A and B are shown apart, each in its own frame.
Chain A
């Protein structure tokens, strides 16, 4: 079967660093994606990884290990506006999403 797992909730402090993990088991692999979704809003694209390694985009970085079926999203210098759900998605022929990790940033 196809499975994408990520923690349900995380809490972190403003200015800190947080790592959101995602593990997956899919029948195929064409890329792994991270989306941000604020409450009541649509998901917005953050990053994608096709090859193993780290992709950096400003305060956000995403890492992929295809052999381990593992990715993480790293958020640095956390801001209050980073409070949102973070969705891990894998394209293995079609797009499958994890249930999302709700991140709360506290002052």
Chain B
């Protein structure tokens, strides 16, 4: 079991560029989510998915798109990168959306937007 994997680990973008952060899990988890982590602000939920074909917005969804075509994959797209999107991005998954299900986090993607 690889758990939750994320690629790339590091990325530098110029303002206005677009890119996709990849996330995959091999635990057959229904629930997947994306967070960003900024100093002094904690983790903030961007988007989440309760199953293939179903996505919803979290606390800070603007500037990001997601899709869930398979159970395993949950990519996060930055449409037009801005310096305010410089952050560490974590993908997480859990068996179901049940609140007490343990969330497993990927290793993170460190994104810098110049």
Chain A residues near B (Cβ < 8 Å): 4, 8, 30-31, 41-45, 48, 50, 87, 89, 91, 94-100
Identity of the chain B residue whose Cβ is nearest the Cβ of A95 in the assembled complex:
B45
Inter-subunit contact B44/A97 (CB<8 Å): yes
Bitwise, B96-114 to A at CB < 8 A (1) or not (0) is 0001101111111000000
What's the Cα separation between A96 and B33 when bound, in Å? 13
Given contacts A42-B90, A99-B40, contact A91 B99 (CB under 8 A): yes
B79 CB-CB contact with A under 8 Å:
no
Inter-subunit contact A44/B105 (CB<8 Å): yes
Inter-subunit contact B100/A50 (CB<8 Å): yes
What's the Cα separation between A45 and B108 when bound, in Å? 15
Inter-subunit contact B59/A31 (CB<8 Å): no
Number of A-B contacts (CB under 8 A): 47
From A45, A94, A100, give the contact of B42 (CB < 8 A): A100
- CB contacts (< 8 Å) of A95 on chain B: these are 33, 43, 45, 103
17 A-B contacts (beta carbon < 8 Å):
A4-B42, A31-B99, A31-B100, A41-B108, A42-B108, A44-B105, A45-B103, A50-B100, A87-B42, A87-B43, A89-B43, A94-B45, A94-B48, A94-B59, A95-B45, A96-B59, A99-B40
Chain B residues near A (Cβ < 8 Å): 33, 35, 40-45, 48, 58-59, 90, 99-100, 102-108
What's the Cα separation between A45 and B104 when bound, in Å? 7
Give the shortest distance, in Å, between B92 (CB) and chain A (any CB): 8
- CB contacts (< 8 Å) of B43 on chain A: these are 43, 87, 89, 95, 97
What's the Cα separation between A91 and B41 when bound, in Å? 17
Given contacts A31-B99, A94-B59, A97-B42, contact A42 B107 (CB under 8 A): yes
Q: Max chain A CB contacts within 10 Å: which of B59, B103, B104, B107?
A: B103
